């Protein structure tokens, strides 16, 4: 820093420090910038006995991580390897229609329109309703599954006779991870929330 400004660090203003770190952060990693920042902070605190708010001067870069996304082939394989019918049909419904976890869990009998081959998704993202195409294969599986419980309202009721609440979200996620592990698919994080291609899945499954 002394070389950069050609003067002592104790004479630098906050604006000078911002200029220095802005120049430093471009060609260097964040770990290198932190070392320089920590050294300067030590100098200010213990040598000059002055406090400074480094967060107002240099901030860590925002890291955007790409979520794990299953391919259509992996999804089809996972569904075929799922042993429990309720989870198998749920995963099929989730991915062939491109639904969010909560949307699939809260599906009702009244939401299914077999005449138009559409499903009414209520209170989706942003509180909006929408209509989603219903694949024939999914409709057939939903009908077979519903006959196992015949709930008057819910497509995926929770455990227990006459349960008026949907399947447990945590239980679904646990079942998903167990099947993925069994299939030796390493992508175990966020796979319920991200669809690679629901159309591709319809052709693959």
pLDDT for position 23: 79
Rounded alpha-carbon distances, angstroms, from residue 23 to 11, 18, 28, 58: 19, 9, 9, 11
Under the phi-then-psi rule, with left for phi > 0, alpha for psi from -120 to 50, and beta for the rest, what region is 104? alpha
| Prediction pTM value | 0.63
DSSP string of 76-126? HHHHHH--SHHHHHHHHHHHHTT--HHHHHT-BGGGEETTTTEEEE-S-GG
| CATH architecture for segment(s) 72-204 | Orthogonal Bundle (1.10)
pLDDT for position 81: 94
pLDDT for position 187: 59
Give the residue extent of every domain in the chain.
2-56, 72-204
Please name every residue paired with 132 in a beta bridge, in sequence order, or none if there are none: 119
The rounded percent of the chain whose pLDDT value lies above 90 is 35
Spans of the chain, pLDDT less than 50: 189, 193-200, 202-204
pLDDT for position 195: 43
pLDDT for position 204: 45
pLDDT for position 106: 94
């Amino acid at each position: 820093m002394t070389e950069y400004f050609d003067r002592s660090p104790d004479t630098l203003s906050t604006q000078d420090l911002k200029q220095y770190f802005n120049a430093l952060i471009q060609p260097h990693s964040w770990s290198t910038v932190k070392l320089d920042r920590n050294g300067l902070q030590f100098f200010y605190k213990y040598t000059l006995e002055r406090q400074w708010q480094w967060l107002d001067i240099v901030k860590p870069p925002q890291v955007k991580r790409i979520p794990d996304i299953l391919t259509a082939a992996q999804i089809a394989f996972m569904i075929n390897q799922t042993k429990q019918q309720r989870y198998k049909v749920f995963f099929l419904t989730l991915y062939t229609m491109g639904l969010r976890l909560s949307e699939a869990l809260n599906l009702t009998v009244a939401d299914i329109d077999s005449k138009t081959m559409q499903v009414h998704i209520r209170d989706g993202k942003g509180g909006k309703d929408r209509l989603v195409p219903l694949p024939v294969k999914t409709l057939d599986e939903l009908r077979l599954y519903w006959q196992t419980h015949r709930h008057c309202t819910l497509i995926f009721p929770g455990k227990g006779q006459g349960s008026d609440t949907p399947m447990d979200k945590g239980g679904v996620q646990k079942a998903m991870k167990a099947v993925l592990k069994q299939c030796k698919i390493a992508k175990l994080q966020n796979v319920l929330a991200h669809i690679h291609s629901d159309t591709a899945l319809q052709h693959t499954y």
